[in-house]
Amino acid sequence: MKSLKDQTNRLRRAHILEAAVKVFAEKGFHVATIKDVAAEAKVADGTIYNYFDNKIALLMGILYPQLDEGVTPSATMPLRSDDPHAFLSDTFARSWNELNPKSLDVLRIVFSEALINPELRAVYTERMIGSAVEMNRPTLRSFVKAGSMRPHDAELSSRALIALVFGFVMLRLLGDEVTAQRWDNFPAHLANLLHEGLAT
Amino acid sequence: MKSLKDQTNRLRRAHILEAAVKVFAEKGFHVATIKDVAAEAKVADGTIYNYFDNKIALLMGILYPQLDEGVTPSATMPLRSDDPHAFLSDTFARSWNELNPKSLDVLRIVFSEALINPELRAVYTERMIGSAVEMNRPTLRSFVKAGSMRPHDAELSSRALIALVFGFVMLRLLGDEVTAQRWDNFPAHLANLLHEGLAT
Amino acid sequence: MKSLKDQTNRLRRAHILEAAVKVFAEKGFHVATIKDVAAEAKVADGTIYNYFDNKIALLMGILYPQLDEGVTPSATMPLRSDDPHAFLSDTFARSWNELNPKSLDVLRIVFSEALINPELRAVYTERMIGSAVEMNRPTLRSFVKAGSMRPHDAELSSRALIALVFGFVMLRLLGDEVTAQRWDNFPAHLANLLHEGLAT
Amino acid sequence: MKSLKDQTNRLRRAHILEAAVKVFAEKGFHVATIKDVAAEAKVADGTIYNYFDNKIALLMGILYPQLDEGVTPSATMPLRSDDPHAFLSDTFARSWNELNPKSLDVLRIVFSEALINPELRAVYTERMIGSAVEMNRPTLRSFVKAGSMRPHDAELSSRALIALVFGFVMLRLLGDEVTAQRWDNFPAHLANLLHEGLAT
DNA sequence: GATGAATGAGTCTTCATTCAT
DNA sequence: TATGAATGAAGACTCATTCAT
């Protein structure tokens, strides 16, 4: 019984969150109204307040699952750490794999808001960037140590990997057409670029 | 006489815009109020409307000078295009040179707003990304043609260069501490990274 | 169920309109504030916007029922058209019958606003004056044709009838005391005046 | 010297008033702004305040000359009081003579404002209606006494005369086309109508 | 729990008025 | 005296939130 209620509750909550993601991504958190979200979710305004304390709680509800997963999560995709090129390939492939339309909508909301909301920024940066760095830096260091990568500052390079992903996300979210059209070509291209360099 | 009034007018306009940049960067365009901007500029609310039609005109006033310059502008910094490594160094150096605190504030505002405002996005993307690509792609292609870079898709690589810059801007704006602390190390590091690659 | 909500809705709407009539008549449309109307209706400011799009919609809400009726409407009062004197008596009696305090308030608002608002003027004039003329002119003509009135230009006379009514409305609205005190004597007096003339 | 200054002062004042009449008649007193009037008069906003205390003083400046004259003034047009029909003719002719475009503009402003402004209404009614009645009633009474008019309540008839004029002013101001087109036919028509009546 | 009308604090914007030049 | 920029009070309108049904 409790389980059934719980189930329904969870579903309705998720349903509202999904509507919120859509609406916030389209209009922005501040411009979108609770009425907009309610209309999208096909519930009454007041109903939303049965599942979320207030408008900001909606935003957090969108943000936190994302935080729980990290930006390069999913045990579903393995990450080979034995070979530098494979590692780079896997890193980008994983990120690209995560970047489906839904998560891009979420990133649109999160980026837009985190840029100007210090609290959100603090939470997000620590979790997302932190966990991404923790994932890359040790591996890069181990490659250098093992002599399979040339000596370089892994702290900086790990940031470069993240920056590349963030940068491409921005290019997509800002509507760059080439980025969108050739989206699937980038993981391999970037892996090569970083592994081989541009020099002859 | 006309010149004097014009001068004062320009100065006051610029003064208000500066206040707006500060306030919008701190609170975000939608959360910041005209009263906030007026207080920061130490003028009355109504005075702002002597210089700008409405709140959105303030945003555009911030945005357009930026657009006029492009993201990698400044005839002040030359860009050597004879040598691949020099070109990459100059490219990043130039971008980093542009990214002073004031322009980062502007980017904070523009990114945050462009992510959720299609019109702004259209203008910004076309101008900023477009002009940046026009700057990189032909040079990359000429290097490949001349045999001083290994063959690669310049369309993709030019996006990668821009994505790196955008990505690092995001890392800074999102408050990543390492990025801030080691900010000045990145241009050289990135130039090397892209030129030599990580392979041994 | 729908009927109940509809009913409440209509009632509240009418209640707000009534308050608006009172307030607009007292202060004038432009001087009266939404807060004034809300206070008179004993609702919050925002509530008014649940029933009317904006302040002008309130004005139109006041105006349109009036327009639907015409200035000399009401099937309740018959208008004898067999005898000239009876016709004149009925015409004025009818108008006077319409001119209760509530409709005088409405006329105060409409006249004041229509004098300086071309759109309102166009709508009002066409409907109100037009329908009044359509009512008088044919009858006057038929009386002339039948020989029960002396020959005269019915186009001009029909305007004179309307002008008399409008003029007395103005005298009342402008606060002329004699007009107010002897209000009920005018229909008969005017009918005689126009029928017999002043000549001996 | 003083006379010269005085002269200039008077002229400028009149110039501003003229602009105010035009602007107020077009937009209405409350909708028109001081800036509108200043633009029409081709002076700066502040200049108006050198000649008038505030916006309401402008309105009064428009109104008072009107009051000083009364609505049926002008010693220029004689009013024959020996013969009923001549008297009626002269009365309407005089009124019509006063109703030039400029004074109609003034009446548009005054009527619109007096309808909703009790103070203005009090002043206006007392002066305008009062003086008009003083002009008609005694003459009507004398005609009755002399037997050149049939017995009737002169108090009511004098109001009817005024109401007719006011009513036709309203018909014009509200944009009735027939009234405008046949404007000059009304004085004679109305004099006949009231003198002879409509009866055969 | 769901609903959606009511609320009223908060915002943008206007404009009469002032006053330094 | 003329000017017109600065002022800030005031008003239309929005919308997150509450709560009676």
- Residues A51-79 have a mean pLDDT of 74
DSSP string, D8-67: HHHHHHHHHHHHHHHHHHHH-TTTS-HHHHHHHHTS-HHHHHHH-SSHHHHHHHHHHHHH
Work out the burial of residue D12: count CB atoms within 10 Å of its CB; fewer than 13 is exposed, 13-18 middle, 19 or more buried. middle
Question: According to the model, what pLDDT value does residue D197 have?
Answer: 86
Cross-chain CB nearest to C116 (options D108, D150, D186): D108
Mutate which of D115, D137, D165 to test chain C, going by most C C-beta atoms within 10 A?
D115
Q: How confident is the model at residue B80 (pLDDT cuts 50, 70, 90)?
A: confident
- Residues C99-112 have a mean pLDDT of 94
The residue lying closest to nucleotide F3, measuring its CA against C1', is: D44
Q: In A75-94, which positions are buried (b, 16+ CB within 10 angstroms) versus exposed (e)?
A: eeeebeeeebbebbbbbbeb
- Strand F close to A35 by CB, under 7 A: yes
Question: According to the model, what pLDDT value does residue D67 have?
Answer: 57
Residue C87 to residue C80: CA distance in whole angstroms: 5
Question: According to the model, what pLDDT value does residue C71 have?
Answer: 47
C39-43, C117-121, D168-172: segment of lowest average pLDDT? C117-121
Count Cα neighbours of D26 within 13 Å in the Cβ-side half-sphere.
Answer: 11
Residue C25 to residue D186, Cβ atoms within 8 A: no
Statement: residue C158 has pLDDT above 80: yes
Does B contact D via 3+ CB–CB distances below 8 Å? no
Cross-chain CB nearest to B178 (options A28, A140, A155): A155
pLDDT per position as a tens digit, C65-84: 765 555 444 555 666 767 89
Lookup result for tokens 């900086």: A156
Q: Which nucleotide is nearest to A34 (CA to C1')?
A: F16
Question: According to the model, what pLDDT value does residue A131 have?
Answer: 87
More confident residue, B134 or A55: A55
Q: How far is D49 from chain C (nearest CA, A)?
A: 22
Q: Which nucleotide is nearest to B4 (CA to C1')?
A: E21
Mean pLDDT for back-to-back runs of 10 residues, chain D (200 residues) = 72 94 96 97 97 96 70 56 88 92 94 94 86 89 91 93 96 94 96 87
Give me the CA A50–C1' E1 separation in Å, rounded.
8
Q: How confident is the model at residue C5 (pLDDT cuts 50, 70, 90)?
A: confident
Q: How far is B136 from chain A (nearest CA, A)?
A: 14
The residue lying closest to nucleotide F14, measuring its CA against C1', is: C46
Q: What percent of chain B has pLDDT over 70?
A: 91
The CA-CA-CA angle for residues C172, C22, C31, to 5°, reads 95
CB A71, CB A131: distance < 8 Å: yes
Statement: residue A117 has pLDDT above 90: yes
Identify all chain B residues contacting A133, using CB atoms and an 8 Å cutoff.
178
Instruction: For residue A78, give the 3-state DSSP assignment.
Output: coil
The residue lying closest to nucleotide F18, measuring its CA against C1', is: A46
Strand F proximity: list residues 56-75 of A with CB under 7 Å: 56
Residue B163 to residue A168, Cβ atoms within 8 A: yes
Identify all chain D residues contacting C28, using CB atoms and an 8 Å cutoff.
30, 113, 115-117
- Residues A34-63 have a mean pLDDT of 96
Question: According to the model, what pLDDT value does residue B71 have?
Answer: 47
- Residues C133-155 have a mean pLDDT of 91
Residue B164 to residue A167, Cβ atoms within 8 A: yes
Mutate which of A164, A168, A170, A196 to test chain B, going by most B C-beta atoms within 10 A?
A170
Question: According to the model, what pLDDT value does residue A72 have?
Answer: 45
Cross-chain CB nearest to B129 (options A171, A199, A200): A171
Question: According to the model, what pLDDT value does residue C1 have?
Answer: 46
CB B195, CB A198: distance < 8 Å: yes
pLDDT per position as a tens digit, A42-54: 999 999 999 999 9
Question: According to the model, what pLDDT value does residue A91 have?
Answer: 93
Q: Give A199's DSSP letter.
A: B
Residue C164 to residue D160, Cβ atoms within 8 A: yes
Statement: residue B74 has pLDDT above 60: no
Q: Give C93's DSSP letter.
A: H
The residue lying closest to nucleotide E17, measuring its CA against C1', is: D54
Cross-chain CB nearest to C182 (options D111, D156, D165): D156
Cross-chain CB nearest to B84 (options A108, A166, A199): A199
Residue of D nearest to C145 (CA): D200
pLDDT per position as a tens digit, B131-172: 888 888 999 999 999 999 999 999 999 999 999 999 999 999
User: Hey, how many other C-beta atoms are within 10 angstroms of the C-beta on A134?
Assistant: 11
Question: According to the model, what pLDDT value does residue D7 have?
Answer: 78
Output the six-digit token pair for B147. 């045999």
Question: According to the model, what pLDDT value does residue A71 have?
Answer: 46
CATH code 1.10.357.10 for C73-196: yes
The residues, any chain, with a CB within 8 Å of residue A116's CB and separated by 6 or more, are B24, B25, B26, B27, B28, B29, B31, B108, B109, B112
Tell me which nucleotides of strand E come within 7 A of a protein CB: 1-20
**CA nearest neighbour of A24 among A56, A53, A67:** A56
Give a three-class secondary structure readout of chain B.
CHHHHHHHHHHHHHHHHHHHHHHHHHHCCCCCCHHHHHHHHCCCHHHHCCCCCCHHHHHHHHHHHHHHHCCCCCCCCCCCCCCHHHHHHHHHHHHHHHCCHHHHHHHHHHHHHHCCCHHHHHHHHHHHHHHHHHHHHHHHHHHHHHCCECCCCHHHHHHHHHHHHHHHHHHHHCCCHHHHHCHHHHHHHHHHHHHHCCEC
Give me the CA A46–C1' F19 separation in Å, rounded.
10
Question: Considering the domain B4-52, what is its CATH architecture?
Answer: Orthogonal Bundle (1.10)
Residue type, position A82, single letter: D
The residues, any chain, with a CB within 8 Å of residue B152's CB and separated by 6 or more, are A189, A192, A193, A198, B140, B144
Question: According to the model, what pLDDT value does residue D66 have?
Answer: 60
Question: According to the model, what pLDDT value does residue B1 have?
Answer: 46
Residue of C nearest to D173 (CA): C115
Domain layout of chain D by residue ranges: 4-52, 73-196
Footprint of strand E on the protein (CB under 7 A): A 5, 9, 12, 43-47, 49-51; B 32-35, 45-46, 49, 54-56; C 5, 12, 43-47, 49-51; D 31-35, 45-46, 49, 54-56
Residue A190 to residue B117, Cβ atoms within 8 A: no
Give me the CA B170–C1' F14 separation in Å, rounded.
33
